Amino acid sequence: MVDLLQRHQCKPRQCSFDQASKALAQADFRLIFLHTCYTDTNALSELHYLRQLYPMIPIILFDDKIDTDRIDESMLWRANDFISTAECTDEILQRVLRYNLKVYQYRTKIERLNQLDPLTGMMNRQQFYKELGEQLISPKKSSAVKHFALINVDLDGFRRFNNLNGYTAGDIVVKEMSQRLTTLSPGLICRQGNDEFILLQGASSHKSLTQQTTELCKQIIHSLRQPYTYQDLEVILPCSIGVALAPKQHCEIDTLINQATLARIKAKEKSCCSYIIFDQQDHSTEQAHIAIEPELINAIRRNEFELFYQPRVDIMTGNIIGAEGLIRWRHPKKGLIYPDAFIPTAERTGLIVPIGYWVIQQAGQDLQRILASGLTIERLSVNLSFRQFQDSYLCRTIQRLINKYTIDTSILEFELTESALFNNEVHVQEGIEELHTLGINFSLDDFGTGYSSFSLLQKLPISSLKIDRSFVSGVMENTDDREIVKALIRLAHSLNKEIIAEGVETQQQLNFLTRYGCHQAQGYLYSKPIPYEEFVYLLEHGYQLKEESAATL
């Protein structure tokens, strides 16, 4: 039998153990009194049962006989105190009550401290996991909704701020950050570690979860980029945010937190003060790039790459005057793989450097064969990435390849993107100028899509500009694209550069380019990228291209 000492009664109310258990589940209590003389079953098993349910609540045993063996046995089952009914007095009862209520207060305080982050006073990671887990397992028991967003946020540049100003300054910033986040988010929130916080955002009935989460992310970004004050110093530390949606993406805690963390890292790489909602398809693509890395290393060793060529045509005559070399991967099991599937991995891992040398070597050998067969070509271009300029042996290696394969450097051309050219101006400029001393020409690819410094365009040995296909494709439907293309052509003329249009697919596009003075074009209207043998055939029968594809005014 369990006796409950109720708040406003001096006498205990006698009931069965099952009745008492139900009453405990609905009551707010601080002590449990268990009378061993009137229990329905074994008192120690009931003690064990209560201790499992209420580990923080002191349990006091009543018994007619209290001896050493009985005390040891009860202590083994984690009873807190004992009262002999035969010897119980008001003084003894008051002492037991005072002592065990103090025990309850201390335990509650310790438990609360274990649940909180000592710096910010908000929920710590362990408690957040526990409460979120309870909500996921039993949503009816809590006020949480089934659909929610898990938001992971941290500050950009916090480690550098800590190193410069000390950990005391960092603690001040983190405490201020936690206060701002608490103001914005009424749901569960915890400090994951350092300057990293996790928020739980439930869906409302009048807005979609994605819309509601997007609005909250924008509010967080606005709030956290306000200056932090340390002594007389005001510092702005932007933030990055990653979001995982449940149950759309997952319902398992560790998986959701991992997804939100990956999205935050991606947002940090993208730009400061940005947020990204985790997308499984994008993540699968990234995982595929990671998985392809070992195969890419083997592809270099086994020489599985091929160089395809897309003709570059003089618009006025229709003659092939050059070509762009484009790499393909002839996988032994997967067949032909296009660059979009492996070049990002090559760039990320640095494998683009040996692959780039292979492209130059293969282009040199193909150029040597073309010229030996009596055919002529003015330009043979290959792409050179920014990552290749970081190789200190770039110029020496290319010089060795030129000498080994007797490459005519007046024909060889390297294509650079605007992002590569202006990412590190001094470093790339030095590399371009050193390569130009070998007689190599340069063209600027994807012209118009990035930031171009006109002064650098005049200083550097760039002989041609290539209009990006995104502008060419829209010249017949989009006024802005037409004006951009016309402006780029005029600019190339004023800088005395050749102008080449990429992605020409229709006769109407070609007519437009001709009308405004574009010099050259390449695209599916003439030919898709093709293997070396097919390209040589086109060189030999170039008059067919002239008859079929020459522009008409």
Per-residue pLDDT of 94-148, as tens digits, reads 888 888 888 777 776 666 667 788 888 888 888 888 888 776 665 444 444 468 8
Q: Which of 431-445, 455-469, 537-551 has the lowest mean pLDDT?
A: 537-551
Per-residue pLDDT of 256-278, as tens digits, reads 888 898 899 888 877 778 899 98
- Kindly tell me if the per-residue pLDDT of 177 is higher than 60: yes
CA angle (246, 189, 252) in 5-degree steps: 30
Q: What pLDDT, on a 0 to 100 scale, did the predictor assign at position 472?
A: 93
- Kindly tell me if the per-residue pLDDT of 543 is higher than 70: no
* Mean per-residue pLDDT, 35-44: 59
- Band (pLDDT 50/70/90 cuts) for residue 419 is low
- pTM of the predicted structure, to 2 decimals: 0.55
- Kindly tell me if the per-residue pLDDT of 317 is higher than 80: yes
Q: How many CB atoms lie within 10 A of CB 101?
A: 13
Q: What pLDDT, on a 0 to 100 scale, did the predictor assign at position 550?
A: 40
* Helix spans in 77-189 (H): 90-115, 125-137, 158-165, 167-184
Give the C-alpha distances (Å, rounded to integers) separating 192 from 122, 133, 255, 397: 11, 16, 15, 48
Q: Which of 181-185, 229-233, 236-240 has the lowest mean pLDDT?
A: 229-233
- Band (pLDDT 50/70/90 cuts) for residue 195 is very high
DSSP 490: H
- Kindly tell me if the per-residue pLDDT of 237 is higher than 80: yes
- Range among 72-76, 246-250, 373-377 rated most confident: 373-377
Q: What pLDDT, on a 0 to 100 scale, did the predictor assign at position 32?
A: 78
Q: How far apart, in whole angstroms, are the C-alpha atoms of residue 204 and residue 182?
A: 19
* Mean per-residue pLDDT, 236-245: 90
Query: 301 is written with which tokens?
Result: 């060793």
Q: Which of 50-64, 306-320, 458-472 has the lowest mean pLDDT?
A: 50-64
Q: How far apart, in whole angstroms, are the C-alpha atoms of residue 61 and residue 480?
A: 86
Residue 545: φ, ψ to 5°: -65, -40
